[in-house]
């Protein structure tokens, strides 16, 4: 089973911007050494404690600091940018690190309405589902001429990449799955977004997949919010702050990663307990010992016919996050 990471660069209580970036560097290098397959940076705007606002820059920097791991964006929110700019950015990255560049294509804003306007004043003129823009990007990555008259006479440079950028269709509802199958794109599902998605959608994707220059067979990854610890006291101690973060995120708030000490006396109310129980029952978030998480993941792999697991670990303490990644790796060794 291939393994990867979904990172939002969440600030911990009391840490500076530089602390966050230094911790991220420690994790990326460690996971490259551990043999992880992939590391993705998300794109969010307008949240002071989420520092992954420029994922393509982060990916480029960390490609130069690693040897083997594939690095990319999970995702690039294309509503904010010209398809030509997206294509040229990632084609340039592909020249710097051939065969190690992912472009996760997201259709959500990753921001609020004010940020949308500030990032791209022309957004209201774009197609509502952004599939037209995605097709233009895919054509550019293959050095094809897009059908759109605005882009058809413009080339995306550099051309003739030795290894193509790998474009992924991202989603959390399953709505984009048929398009991913039609265009021959690997599909990555953010299950931690907490949207119920029937398993037949993934079966249809594999059944209807059409091979492309990017992928000769269907490929599904799924992202889970995850905490693994075999020590029960540690699991309980870290887990309360882990649960607290999930509740804040579900409410559209971002206080960053609070210290377990700051919430050790916090009492979840009945609504919070119900939301947490629903999230665990639906496997949007996973918390447990290595054996418990292994049982869940092997069942998920069978249910959805998964090819890869991505871990999103909003856990306080960089060493604690690394320990969860190590435990996840050990599950599949």
DSSP assignment of 76-104, as one string? EEGGGS-HHHHHHHHHHHHHHSTT-EEEE
Share of residues in the chain with pLDDT > 70 (%): 98
Mean pLDDT of the chain: 95
Token pair for 169: 């269709």
pTM given for the model? 0.95
Average pLDDT over residues 191-196: 89
How high is the pLDDT of residue 108?
A: 87
pLDDT tens column, 239-277: 999 999 999 988 877 779 999 999 999 999 999 999 999
Are the C-beta atoms of 277 and 311 separated by less than 8 Å? no
Strands, E assignment, the chain: 2-7, 38-41, 70-77, 101-106, 166-171, 187-190, 220-228, 285-288, 308-312
How high is the pLDDT of residue 123?
A: 65
pLDDT tens column, 53-99: 999 999 999 999 999 999 999 999 999 999 999 999 999 999 999 99
Name residue, tokens 């002071």.
Answer: 48
What's the CA gap between 194 and 35, in Å, rounded? Answer: 29
3-state helix, strand, coil in the chain (%, to 5): 45, 15, 40
Helix axes 318-331, 17-34, angle to 10 degrees: 20
pLDDT tens column, 98-130: 999 999 999 988 888 888 888 877 666 666 679
How high is the pLDDT of residue 127?
A: 64
Average pLDDT over residues 184-204: 93
């Amino acid at each position: 089973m291939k393994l990867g990471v979904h990172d939002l660069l969440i600030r911990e209580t009391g840490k500076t911007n530089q602390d966050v970036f230094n911790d991220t560097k420690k994790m990326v290098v460690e996971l490259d050494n551990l043999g992880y397959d992939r590391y993705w940076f998300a794109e969010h705007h307008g949240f002071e404690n989420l520092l992954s606002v420029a994922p393509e820059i982060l990916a480029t920097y960390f490609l130069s600091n690693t040897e083997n791991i594939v690095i990319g964006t999970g995702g690039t929110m294309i509503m904010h940018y010209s398809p030509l700019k997206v294509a040229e950015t990632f084609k340039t990255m592909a020249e710097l690190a051939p065969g190690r560049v992912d472009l996760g294509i997201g259709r959500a804003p990753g921001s609020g309405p004010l940020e949308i306007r500030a990032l791209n004043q022309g957004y209201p003129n774009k197609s509502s589902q952004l599939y037209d823009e995605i097709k233009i990007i895919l054509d550019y990555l293959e050095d094809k001429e897009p059908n759109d008259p605005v882009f058809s006479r413009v080339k995306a440079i550099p051309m003739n990449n030795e290894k193509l950028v790998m474009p992924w269709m991202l989603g959390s509802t399953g709505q984009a799955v048929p398009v991913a199958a039609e265009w021959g794109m690997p599909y990555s599902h953010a299950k931690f977004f907490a949207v119920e998605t029937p398993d037949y959608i993934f079966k249809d994707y594999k059944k209807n997949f059409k091979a492309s220059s990017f992928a000769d067979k269907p490929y599904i990854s799924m992202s889970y919010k995850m905490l693994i610890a075999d020590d029960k006291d540690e699991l309980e101690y870290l887990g309360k702050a882990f649960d607290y973060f999930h509740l804040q995120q579900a409410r559209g708030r971002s206080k960053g990663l609070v210290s377990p000490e700051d919430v050790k006396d916090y009492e979840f109310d009945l609504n919070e307990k119900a939301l947490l129980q629903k999230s665990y029952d639906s496997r949007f978030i996973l918390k447990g010992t290595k054996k418990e998480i292994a049982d869940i993941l092997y069942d998920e792999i069978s249910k959805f016919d998964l090819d890869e697991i991505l871990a999103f670990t909003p856990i306080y303490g960089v060493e604690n996050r690394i320990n969860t990644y190590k435990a996840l790796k050990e599950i599949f060794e």
